[in-house]
Structure 1
Amino acid sequence: MDIITTHTNTDFDGLAAMVAAQKLYPGADIVFPGKISRNVEEFLALHKDMLKIKPLKLVDLKKVRRLIVVDNHNPKRIGKLAKLMEDPKVEVHVYDHHPATECNLNHKTFVLEPLGAATTLLVERIRGKNIPITPLEATILALGIYDDTGCMVFASTTPRDVEAVAYLLDKGANLSVVSEFLGRPLTQEQQSLLKKLLVSSQRHNINGVKVLIASADTGEFIDGLALLTHKLSEIDQADAVFVAVEMEDRIHVVSRASVPEVNCREIMASFGGGGHVAAASASIKGLAINDLKAELLEIIKQKVRPMMTARDIMSSPVKTVYPETKIEEANQVMLRYGHTGLPVVRGLELVGVISRRDVEKAMHHGLGHAPVKAYMNVNVHTTTPDAPLSQVQDMMIEFDIGRLPVVENGRVVGIVSRSDVLRTLHGDFQGRYYTMFNKGSSNHVRYKNMMKRVLPENIMEILYLVGELAQQYGYKVYAGGGIVRDIILNVENLDVDLIVEGDAITLARALGEKLGGKVRTYEKFGTAEVSLKNGSWIDLATARVEFYEYPAALPTVETSSLKHDLYRRDFTINAMAISLNPGTFGELVDFFGGREDLYAGIVRVLHNLSFVEDPTRLLRAVRFEQRYQMHMDPQTLRLLEEAVHEQLITRVSNERIWYEMKIILNEPEPADVLHRLWELGLWEQIFPEVTYWEVQPVLEEIPQALMVLRNWGWDEPAEKWLVYFIAILHWNDVQTATRVCERYTLGRRQTEKVQDTIKHWRNALRDLSSPENMKISQLARILQVLPREAYPMFLALMEDRVAIQRFRKVMEAVRSNKPTINGKDLKAMGFKPGPLFRKALDAVWQARLDGLVKTREDELKLAEQCMYKLQKGEQSCV
């Protein structure tokens, strides 16, 4: 007798590896050595009749001549079957991907390779021998690989795992089934345990590593502790997580680590456990949980290697300047030595720091003769030589500082720059710093006639009025930003943004009173909004300058001048203003050469930290470039590429990213913008779950599909962006698409439309392309499962002319054959409202589509017949 087994508490990798082994050893029976995980148990409840599984109690160990062990090589983990691994009469074959332990025995076949999943080992052998597999078997094997690789995102994943999955997909693996069983919701017991672990969590800083230890006592065994540990690590964002739970007669310990300083396998080996460097576990008997936690903490303290410190990466000795040093001299020092900032000292005392950005701004404004002390930052954050790298990194992010002086005994002994940190985190990082000067001057050109051509008369009247009101208060007011850009381009833009050198809130209240509009004020930001009776609105803002507390943060605002206000904008083409005061109405103010850039078709940032201060500008740069058929200048493109390389967009809140993406998806040609995002490397940072080339063909076909559908009489949905969003996600499974929707906080109804599309489009496409003749009502039912927003994508996917013709036929039939009766008519007949109404009306609708009823009288007659039949319990009334 030959049997195939794995480890106790069998997971999907164990199950899949056994199924794969059965293809290599056709006469062998699958035998579970003990308990199986809940997800596997649920899967087998549906599929066990398809597998050749033999209960352990029916196995006569004396008759076993060959034992195949997969996803395990430790006899301690196969229960009663362990004696077979030591029996010289039994031929033992082992296939595993876990690191070798002291339990290794000499077997006839012993295959142990560091892959993401044990199933991969066996799939490779199946493929090499050209052994046929069914779609069901391919699905089970894919389940195993996806489960043990975290859907290909765990650090243990290898190219071979990916190749194995590609092979299985080619053999018909069903990803819908994979996602269904991998994404099962937590049970009530698991949810309760997770809450206990969260409450009990204790945080430790060990050698600079953030370690979380959580514990609980459940009494009974609860499956899925590894999953709960993973969720705990996601919630807490610690470098390493250790979870200890007392269940039945033992304590189960699971560990996860995301930094190389923590070796989970080494730590768990102290308790007789094993696993991988980044994920390991152990099972301990005869020890109180508090004693185990204390022992675990001591072992962690011994085993965790110290993280790099500031001393390891700092530059020393440090080039310094004095408070009296001129700005232009400091600039020369920075250029000569390639520094991004300099400590300012008086004697041996650190009194401030001057950054290259500060120096560049001062030089830009002709202040090179001024002393450094006038512009240096005196609120200096410092660190010590022994501070861990993680602490240095956190300080730079929190305080938005590019360099951190290292101070010991009151003296500056070194300095750590952003480049030093990035070079440590990303070995291939090459620090670069670019200087950019825009030499545009204030250009006063009258654009009054242009404004009259582009803006509606009522808007012009409002702009005249606001200028007169500002004059009365002694303020200056300007139209700024996008409206100026579009006036020059002769493009309509009704979003009126006003910049006030004065008090914008006071001016807004006066304007609201004159126009009879509602005024909403934001005192903190010095801004206001005037809502007009026709539904439009006008934004007013006090001229201000913005300071970012850290990269990608929302800005802190202070009042300033028009020039400073414009300098905070994203691009030169958006940093222009038009005066609205009487006497200067229509004069263009252009400090930074935006008009020239607009005429030359150039998108240019205003300063070299623009993308660092606000990474959403990366998306806007691409949008403007594609909308106006422009191009980024070489400097801006280099800065963008560096920002993409540093993944700055991932530091921005999901809400802000989605705000920009929604605007992009509402563009006239979103596909062009999306393609450019992919070219520049931004796509995978915004939609990491979506492979661009898989959805690119559909995205490019949607404009044509939209035009065709409009010609067919299709009513375009109000949320045009959802058409493209559905197309972006249509190739994903429901679980993954739902995660994307949740990340970008889509509404429930919008999320359901995405889910419905993914669930049904493949079957709908297949049915619509079927050679069978179908009634219009049958075809309509096929399409009824898809939301209207999915129709353009659906049409773009069609290659069969018959299917396209059917699609059009249904669209036209549905539009022109809407029933004339409703529930009120059935109620008038004397029927009691209820679920039967819907069935009867649906039957009328189908009959109308198929031409069986044509008049209102026909519909009423059929509806009445249907209600009587349905009340009698008949399933169909047609």
Structure 2
Amino acid sequence: MLRAMRLILAHDNADLDAIASLALARKLHPDAIPVLHGGLDGSERTAFILFKDALGILTPEDLPDEEIESLIVVDTHDLGRLGEYAEVARKVPVLVYDHHPTEGEVPPGHYQLVGSCATLLTRRIQQEGIELTNPEATLALAGLEADTDFFQNGNTTREDFQAAAYLSQFADLRVVREITRQFFDPEALNILAELLKNPGWQDIGAFRVILKILQPEDRIPGAGLAMRLISLTGADAVFLFLQDGERTDVVARARQRGPNVARILQDLGGGGHKQAASARVDLPPEEAYRKVLECTAWQEKPILVQDRMTRDVRTLSDSLKINEAIVELVKIGHNGAPVLHEGKLVGMVSRRDLDRAMRHGLQNAPVKSVMSRRVISIEPDEPLGHATELIRKHSVGRLPVVKGGHLLGILTRSDLLGEAPPKPDLTEKVLGHLQMQDWEMIETVRENAPSTARIMLVGGAVRDALLGKHPTDLDVVVSGVDVIEVAQQSGLDFKCYPQYGNATLTLPNGNHLDLIQARDEYYTAPGAAPTVMKGTLEQDLARRDFTVNALALQLTPEVKFIDQHDGLSDLQAEVLRVLHPLSFLEDPSRIVRGARLAVRLGFRLEERTLSTISDALPHAEMAFKRLKNELLLVFQERTPGAVFEMLQEWGAGELYGFGDLTALKRADEARRKGEHVPTETLMALWLHSFAPEQRKQVARIWQIPKRTREVADLAGPEDFLRMSDWEFLYWCLLNPDQARAYEVAKLTPPRQVTGKDLLDLGMKPGSALGELLEHLKVLRQQEEVSGFEEELEVARRWIRDGRDAEG
């Protein structure tokens, strides 16, 4: 009986990414055999020769005579591109890993629109915690770089850069360079020279493309030739038809603004990306050429200016004063803007020209006095290629899109590069959520800062503003100059703290702003206090705890939003992620900070970040002072009970070692309803959660106030009348079933000895009775009696011994 085997296959005409994906898929499916079928040329042939044995990649001739029970397909979901295995794919189960766009029904598998299939597989390998060998990582990185055209293709994503960074830790970068370098042998160079003499131009629809049939004696690097032709000729796309016996290989490459070559080659059974595709057909090259020309995809509507332009354009009125215009530009984070008069475009103004006018004392002059009236514009229904030509010809950064004199939008270089529709202006969103007094102070600092200074609003203020909240605590970081120099040039009163590299500025209205010197830090041991030194703004961001706290708004020399650690994506996904895997190990108090943020913002902790907590806990003792500070901050949160509960959920409850949180959770609920619960009440409820024999030591370790510990240690409430409000609330939250009785007791006046009580004791009405009542009142005020029974005893002695006995 024949054994059954599982194969890993890529498409025919395999490129570097496909070969790399064969090896990576084997890491996820070690029981499967990677098989490379079809011909190879150029760098693909080099890679296969180098890694064939090390990675166990076989050819069909190497396979044993066994049945195929299932297939794993990489770098394509078109089972018709599996060459001799296409028929097998229709009969056995198939699992796909592919990064290409899909239409209609597709085989089951894993799909993600990233720059390379190697990226998709690398991310899954990272998630599974699988280690890569040097050959595996080297081939994977080469495939990733080749398929993204060294990260220049429009299909390149952030995930590709992250995967490349991961792979570079294990790869041989020298070998990667050798594989991906395009070496042309003499025949290929001769073909390239001939192509440049006679490219084979075709004007098809809105595109100017090259289509050329080649009949080389040997296999040549078709993809490399196509890319070289695009860069040398400026063609929108290149299609090369390479005859290989009775078959034809079609290789297509396109510019970002060019046609969708993957869609065009679909009619030939091929596939790929919008800018890179291939097909292998059982047709002579002339027939394949004709089919490409006749493809209906050429008739698809070309990309127009209106398809890419930014529609929400920030404009200035021509009557606006120059100083007012500068404020507006700072708010929107732009260095220039279109100028309108009665709704029509009349000019463009730059920040540079406005600043020059200010230096000449023209702050009250209208914007129209300095704007440029010669505006290079474009209409919305023109091809995007025309916009590219205008930007290059006139060296402008943006093109107003105008119809009938009215501004409809604006086209920037980013729009031409094919980026997704622009996100809302984040600089404006951050600045728009600042309080007016904060904005005034920041603007004062910005205007007077030395030209070499970089000043940045960072951390929680930026995070909260992007979440639609008004920041209450501004963290302003300075680099490039000393903080003291910035403080001096601000013209404001200030106080410096040289030992911390900070300065506090004071506005005439009494508001304060802390300036902090940008710094870098390193930890000599897990949990130890960091060693701090001056650093750059980038280093200052990199030392922070979570990506959502590493967002920044640069204020000088230009206003721009900075997100070096993908914090914006995490903010939108409501995820807390540390900046590096050792973050909690270096400072375990960050775990508590994370719990506070998670509860306050409603975020979750990223899985990989969560997995690092257990390694950090043994080093918590080294971070005692920081953990103590974090404990105090927990009690300042709106729902501290939920924070402690979150720590328990994360497996980090031992940081403080508390017990039953039921009463503290009641305090959370009261706060949610808007009730005031003092910090002392919260701390006493938390302390009460410990066993009675532990409370004294816990209070000493974490420096809980003495009275708080005393209240937490009481077996039951004492005199309600002498209780402070926080103590009374403590008992009500601790014993909610008794709360009503406690309230009645607190509100019920204490029983005092009255004239009737004295008459009942045998006294006669008269002045003596009045004197005794007054005497009892004095004793109460001096707290020499407590309660009715003590007063009654004093009265009995007074009556028995006479008034002088108590006098």
Range class of TM-score, shorter chain: 0.3 to 0.5
What TM-score do you get using the length of structure 1 for normalisation?
Answer: 0.40
Larger gyration radius, structure 1 or structure 2: 2
